[in-house]
Amino acid sequence: MKKLYVFALACLSSSFLWGQQALWKGEDITSPQINPDKTVTFRLVAPKASKVEIEGDFLPSRHIQTPAGTQEAPGRKEMEEKENGLWELTTDSLPGELYSYTFYINGQRTPDPNNVYQNRDIATISNIFIVGGGKGDLYQVQDVPHGNISKVWYSSPTLGMDQRRMTVYTPAGYTEGHKKYPVLYLLHGAGGDEDSWGDLGRACQILDNLIAQGKIKPMIVVMPNGNGGQQAAPGQAADGMPKPQFMNPKMMEGSVEKAFPDIMKYIEKHYRTINDKSHRAICGLSMGGFHSLYISARYPDKFGYVGLFSAAINRQSKGENNDVYDNLEEKLAVQFKHAPRLYWIGIGSGDFLYKDNAEFRKLLDRKGYKYTYMETDGGHIWRNWRIYLTEFTQLLFK
């Protein structure tokens, strides 16, 4: 019996050590390593590779051809092979920012196996890291009071759905008090969903940190799903786990704009909101900027603050729901008769939508409509949209 006990103990110890070996495998590889001088070192073990590259938005950008035209893309750079199949690259000193990257081994895209921090942008997975200082501090979780995030299911009769999901941020102190708050409706771009602004845009960290610094008013922020044919983000709905797509049903053909009051009705019934134009804002990126343009024009008495971030102006589906998209100039005339307190436009100088936004600003200029404009470097990228959210929210509800 004693021999059997010893044998069992040995087997258990062997299993434990085997499991620990899996845990410890590659423990001595740190990637990325953020150095004191804010350079960053990447490492990858690939002994059979003949070429290893890193692609990241901290490298000089390149231009690629897409169905939407020429667009900016992250730069690529070859890594250097060291001993024992270890590949390495150290960057120049980087400004404080959130960065994303991936490896290419002999041309095959692969994530960094030593970095568990990743984001999904449509169907593409990238590793991320944050360099502290400047904007980087704003995007990190800091030791400040934190708001709460809820994944909320609501009914949208206009879309014919009993259940749709959205993300709602409530500021620190909301659950303990009785105070009413202004509301910002924050909309995502094509291929995104109700998780995008939280995961890719770092919206919750931005809001927590700016509120703690006294730079923005505490507010409720509603992040709905802007794909009118979806219940929720991929993998979170009753349709199983489909591959995320850039193009989804009922994106920019009027359904979302018509159904938007369903969202507002739910929020104003279930949250302590101040329900007037002066305490309601809407903004969004790309498709979400498009939706913000037409929703605010369709309901001109609802939003005192409007933000268009790299807005996909004039990209609607043709021939459908013309009552939503037709006669925009007439709708703008009504909207600006009692002008919003803030009409804000931001775009990157390298954005493929730059020309469309420039033409729209010419229209506003001809009509004498006042707006605030911000132009940044770079293209159609999250780095810009995080900046726009930071700037826009500091101007709200003053």
Q: Tens digits of per-residue pLDDT, 341-378?
A: 999 999 999 999 999 999 999 999 999 999 999 999 99
Last residue of a domain, one of 109, 138, 167: 138
Work out the mean pLDDT of the chain and round it to a whole number.
91
Same domain? 251 vs 349 = yes
DSSP state of 82: -
Q: Is residue 122 part of a domain?
A: yes
**Per-residue pLDDT band at 11 (split at 50, 70, 90):** very low
- Which amino acid is residue 181, in one-letter code? Y
Last residue of a domain, one of 97, 117, 138: 138
Same domain? 148 vs 134 = no
Same domain? 195 vs 322 = yes
Same domain? 114 vs 130 = yes
| More confident position, 142 or 27 | 142
The whole-model pTM stands at 0.90
Q: How many CA atoms lie within 13 A of 267 on its CB side?
A: 29
H-assigned helices in the chain: 2-24, 135-139, 196-199, 203-212, 255-270, 287-298, 322-325, 328-337, 354-367, 382-393
Same domain? 251 vs 382 = yes
Q: Could you report the per-residue pLDDT of 60-90, keeping only the tens digit for each?
A: 988 777 665 667 789 999 999 999 999 999 9
**Per-residue pLDDT band at 243 (split at 50, 70, 90):** confident
Q: Is residue 2 part of a domain?
A: no
Extract long-range pairs of 85-88: CB within 8 Å, 24+ residues apart. 85/45, 85/46, 85/47, 85/48, 85/49, 86/29, 86/43, 86/44, 86/45, 87/43, 87/44, 87/45, 87/46, 87/49, 87/52, 88/41, 88/42, 88/43, 88/44
Q: Is residue 335 part of a domain?
A: yes
Same domain? 221 vs 357 = yes
Same domain? 219 vs 84 = no
Q: How far apart are CA 341 and CA 167, in angstroms?
A: 26
Sign, CA torsion 148/251/269/161: negative
Q: Is residue 6 part of a domain?
A: no
Return the pLDDT at 211. 98
User: Exposure of 398 by Cβ count < 10 A (0-12 exposed, 13-18 middle, 19+ buried)?
Assistant: exposed
Same domain? 276 vs 194 = yes
Same domain? 263 vs 329 = yes
Contact 333, 367 (CB under 8 A): yes
Return the pLDDT at 248. 83
Q: Is residue 328 part of a domain?
A: yes
Instruction: Give, in order, the Cα–Cα distances in Å from 167 to each of 85, 108, 187.
Output: 44, 35, 11
Q: Could you report the per-residue pLDDT of 259-282, keeping only the tens digit for each?
A: 999 999 999 999 999 999 999 999
Same domain? 149 vs 133 = no
Q: Is the N-terminal amide bond of 244 cis, ω within 30° of 0?
A: no
Last residue of a domain, one of 80, 108, 138: 138
CATH number at residue 86: 2.60.40.10
Domain total in the chain? 2
Same domain? 166 vs 223 = yes
Q: Is residue 17 part of a domain?
A: no
Give the domain range for residue 350.
144-393
Same domain? 263 vs 312 = yes
Q: Is residue 161 part of a domain?
A: yes
Q: How far apart are CA 345 and CA 292, in angstroms?
A: 11
Closest CA to 298 of 270, 321, 271: 321
DSSP state of 199: H
CATH number at residue 261: 3.40.50.1820
CB atoms within 10 A of CB 227: 26
Extract long-range pairs of 315-318: CB within 8 Å, 24+ residues apart. 315/252, 315/287, 315/290, 315/356, 316/252, 316/253, 316/254, 316/290, 317/251, 317/252, 317/253, 317/254
Q: Is residue 262 part of a domain?
A: yes
